[in-house]
Structures are given as C-alpha cells and as structure tokens.
Structure 1
C-alpha cells in the first residue's frame, strides 16, 4: 500500500523489513536485514539480543495532544523530521511533481492555514502536488503532505481540499506513521527472539503472532483513520473552512468508488472504512446519525 501504510517485504531475498512509501519506494525501518541479524545473534546468543533490545528501545515519553495521552516514542521530533526528509528525497527521485504553479500555491496556502491551527506546530509542514491520475492524498512523518492531481480534479471547492489536507495533518499530529514504524520494529525483534531462542511450540507461536500482528495493524489503521477524520474536521473549522465538506467529499468518492474499478493507489485503497468515517465526522460536528450510518453497509467495490 502507498505511503502511510506499513508492511513487511522480502526484497531480493534479503529478508528485511521495509515501509513501502508510494509504489516502488521502500524505506528500511530496522537498519539491518533480519536474516543478517539472525545469523549475528545466533552466534552471539540471547544475552546479545537483550542488549540490542535495550539499546533500540531507549525512548522518550511525550504528551500527544491528538490522543490526550503520554506516549513513548523511539523517534523524537528531531529524528522524525530527519526520517521524513530522507523519505521525501526518495519521493522526489521516484515521482513527478506538478508544473502548475497555481495548483501548488493553492495546496500550500490552504495547507499552511490548517497547520497553523493544528496541535503540532513545532514542525515545518511541506505540501506538494504529485502528477498522478489516481484520486489520493498521503502524508509522511515530519510534516510532508502530498496531493495527487487526480484528487484535485475531484474537489469542488477549497473547503473540500482543506478537509483532505487537515485529515493528512491529523495523521502527522497523532504520529501514526511513527507508531507503525515502532510496531514493525517491535515485531521484528519478537520474531528474532523466537527464531534465535526457540522453545517447544514456538513455531506455532510465531505463526499465531504473524496473524495477530496483521490483525493488529488492520485495526490500528482503522482507528488512525477515524482519529485523523476527527482532527481534520476540527482543524478545518478552526482555520475557517466548512468541516461538513469532509462528509460531502467522502460521500462523493464513495459513489465514484462504486461506479469505477478500484485502482491500486486510489483513495479507497489507502483510506478504507468510509462509512465508519462518515459517521465519526458527523459525531464530531454534532450532526444527527442516520440508521444507515449505524448499520454501516457499504457496497463492495468492483474488481479490475
């Protein structure tokens, strides 16, 4: 999945864990291939793994204004910004940016207004327009937001665009990408411990852990989307835009999705749970919830 989705990939047999950021662009979140780490720790023993984990898990505790909780991070803000800069350089190499200065200025102007009222003002936000036909918008750690030209063609007004940008800023404020990176790292260490220090039944445990972790990531993504929508509606309103435009945009794209084949990098591929999201935004705005909102029925998209 593009950008804001975490996943593990075995690239050219190296057995490393990566984040896939936009199609074809990967970022190594462990630093060393797991297969190489496995052989190293197999020789050095369990004590070396414990030392490695203690070093890796040195983290800071910060108050997250989005979740209203104290949370632990392997990556502080400075490290997050550096990571975002690194991934952004890869994006610049792999993808084409728009040559339309008016499109770029529109996105930047609206994005900056949203960023000023967000709960995370200690980072600089960067807004770019990608020359992509698919209807999508994505974000990176450290303040990077990308909007496809295909999405700009579908928005009817600045209010809808503001809500989309506010949603992506919500992901950054809540540090969703960072949390996924940490989840992937923690899981890679768990798998390494099971592999190097096996015990009776650990094969089954490892398989179960794979399944459980996959389910965890799926559920976590759903919660991410709902929180980003809540924050997005709030930030759009604070910046002077109509937050109800988020609902109209989601309904419009849901209708498009029902009538057209689902593209690999489409908005609905990377931003699922649309009925749930419409309901949550309505709740955030104090709107009445309909029966359809509660039963959460969505027609399945067409397959290519």
Structure 2
C-alpha cells in the first residue's frame, strides 16, 4: 500500500513539474535567427553530403518560385526581415519533407512525384515554413530538455524506485508527444493562411493528406518519413477541413489537385490514366468522333468541377433521348433506342468505376 502511495506521489510530482515547465506553444517569436540559421546551415551541409541532391534546373526553379512567395510572407509574419528559405530536393522514394532551423527545407523526389499540382506542393512547403517561423525547433528542444530534467528529478527523489521512474518517463514522453501534435496542428493552420496569402489554393493541403491517408490504408510498405510521427492522418484531415471552413474557403478538390484529368488520344477518352471508351466504336451515336469528342470532354470537365460521387452519375431517358447525366450536366445525349440505352448503360458503368477508383475523399464527406 505504501509503495502504491509513493508511486502516486511521484506521478503527481511529475505532473506538477511538467505543467509548470510548459513552453508557450502560441508564442510566434524567433528568438535568435542568426544562431538558428547557423545551426540549420550546419545540419543542411551534413544532409547534402549524405543524400544525393537533385541538380535538375527545372525542379529547382519550381522550388525557388514557390519559395520566393513563401519567404516574403514568412518575413512579414515573423518580423525577421532577413529570414531566408532555402529549399532543396533529394533523391528518395520516401514521401517526405522537413524543415531545419533557420529556414532550410528539404523535400524528397518521392514527395515531388506524389503531389499533383503546385498548390499541393506549396501547401506542404508552407507547413514546413510554419515550423520555421513559429520557432518550433527551439520550443521542442527546450521542452525536451526540461522533461528530461523532470524525469531525472523524479528518479533522484524516488531513490530509483522502478515504478516511479518508469511512470515519470512514460508521462514525460506522452506529454512531449502531445505537444508535438499541437505544433503540427499549428503548422497546418499556418500553411492554410500562408497558401492563401501567397496566391495558392489551401485546399491542396487537404487533398494531399487525403491521398496520403488512402495510401496508408492500402499499403504497409511505404516509408512516410517524419510524417509517421504526425497526428493520425484521419484526425488531421478533419481539423484541416474545419480550418478551411472556418476561413470561408470553398472546398473544391478538383481545382486544387487537378483530379479527374480528362485527356484524349485521337478518339480515345481517358480519365486520369484510365481508358473510358473510343468514340469510333459507336458510329451511330458519334457520327463525327473527332468533332463530338470536344463536346464530351467539355461536358465532363464541367461535371467534374462539381466533385461528383458515383451516385451522381446516371442514365436518364425521356421520350426522345437517352442521356448520361452528372449533376444535371448532360455528358452524352443520343436518340432513345434500345441499342443506345444498352450502350450508355455500359459507358455509365465504366465511368462510375473510374470515378470510384480515383476518389480519395469519400469517407470524409
């Protein structure tokens, strides 16, 4: 009984010390930018000596173009006029990006291949910029040092009591992990505001996270780098949606991520990389396939801008016509005959399958 009371006492002591050592997570001041820059520069050199840095000018120009906009906002936000963002890409299949003190940001080729648009890439880089301007590196390091001191104090005070020592260590780790999650939320909030200020679509943060979540659920073999230690992706998606709505942002995923890309190769229509159909296979419906295809693609794009789900895709008939309809937009209209109804039913089924297989957000609507 006495042993349990002692353990409870030391747990209480740990909680008291931790609560009194909390660092203000909402503080936005970079205490010493010059020192942070030198520290980050040193680490960046080590990273560049270990990983193969991408030298492709097209890639670097893309990063620089986005970085220049983010840097301007970061300077205004932080008040550090000489703050510099240095963004580099390195070869790795990992889907990853991270920031160092002083504004050094690294992104993998895996991430560059994963994002679909500059809006998505800008949102990822804005998140990492948030860690820099919100001074998260210093805050986390300071808190980690203090938690270590707390655990050490409890060990000394308890004279090495195993249960008290283990409890203090576990509690310190839990508190530090929760603090890290809070910092990630702050970086996401910053990313949304930064993207807006820099002329990028903040919904790109949401679409990237939704695809990460879809791939996490479908594969255990992908290395997500430091994103493995972020808040659970589904939780992150929910609060990103809430933040976007709070800011009055219309959530249109297609515009941000260029979803449902409609292309053609002659008379063949593709949605994403999936073949839909060849207009020349249906001469009675498409007597001039190379002219008719323009109308079909235009109508598809209008419909996909409305972010349909499979239940919005249907075949409707009236006295004269049979129509593939998506949210009251006629994609294909032809004469109402038994043969044409069969054809459009088949094309509609294929279209539903393509939309279903390329939707990443269904669970969150």
Normalised TM-score (structure 1): 0.66
2:93 is the counterpart of 1:137: no
1:30: which partner in 2? none
Question: Could you give the per-residue CA deviations for residues 6-29 of structure 1, whole angstroms, max 9, x where no partner exists?
Answer: xxxxxxxxxxxxxxxxxxxxxxxx
Conservation of the 8 A alpha-carbon contact between 1:166 and 1:232: yes
1:266-281 equivalence runs, <5 A? 266=225, 268-281=227-240
Conservation of the 8 A alpha-carbon contact between 2:144 and 2:176: no
How many aligned positions are there?
225
Give distance in 1, aligned partners of 2:112 and 2:28: 37
Give distance in 1, aligned partners of 2:234 and 2:244: 16
Give distance in 2, aligned partners of 1:169 and 1:209: 33
2:116 is the counterpart of 1:156: yes
Q: 1:221 to 1:70 in 2, by over 3 A?
A: closer
Judging by fraction of residues, say which structure has more helix.
2
Q: Aligned-residue CA RMSD in angstroms?
A: 2.9
1:52-131 equivalence runs, <5 A? 67=26, 69=27, 76-118=32-74, 119-120=77-78, 122=80, 123-131=83-91
Over alpha carbons, which structure has the higher Rg? 2
By how many angstroms is 1:216 displaced? 1.1
When structure 1 is superposed on structure 2, of 256-265 and 162-171 the one drifting more is 256-265
Selected match of 1:237 from 196, 199, 214: 196
Give distance in 1, aligned partners of 2:124 and 2:250: 22
Selected match of 1:146 from 100, 106, 127: 106
Q: Tell me the secondary structure at the aligned position of residue 117 of structure 1.
A: helix
Conservation of the 8 A alpha-carbon contact between 2:86 and 2:104: yes
Give distance in 2, aligned partners of 1:132 and 1:277: 25
Conservation of the 8 A alpha-carbon contact between 1:226 and 1:276: no
Q: 1:207 to 1:288 in 2, by over 3 A?
A: farther
Q: Tell me the secondary structure at the aligned position of residue 94 of structure 2.
A: coil
1:206: which partner in 2? 165
Give distance in 1, aligned partners of 2:102 and 2:41: 7
Conservation of the 8 A alpha-carbon contact between 1:139 and 1:171: yes
By how many angstroms is 1:288 displaced? 9.2
Give distance in 1, aligned partners of 2:99 and 2:228: 15
Conservation of the 8 A alpha-carbon contact between 1:225 and 1:277: no
Question: Could you give the per-residue CA deviations for residues 164-186 of structure 1, whole angstroms, max 9, x where no partner exists?
Answer: 10011111122222112112222
Give distance in 2, aligned partners of 1:101 and 1:288: 35
Give distance in 1, aligned partners of 2:104 and 2:197: 21
By how many angstroms is 1:187 displaced? 2.8
Selected match of 1:257 from 216, 219, 226: 216
1:11-30 equivalence runs, <5 A? none
Q: 1:78 to 1:206 in 2, by over 3 A?
A: farther
2:147 is the counterpart of 1:187: yes
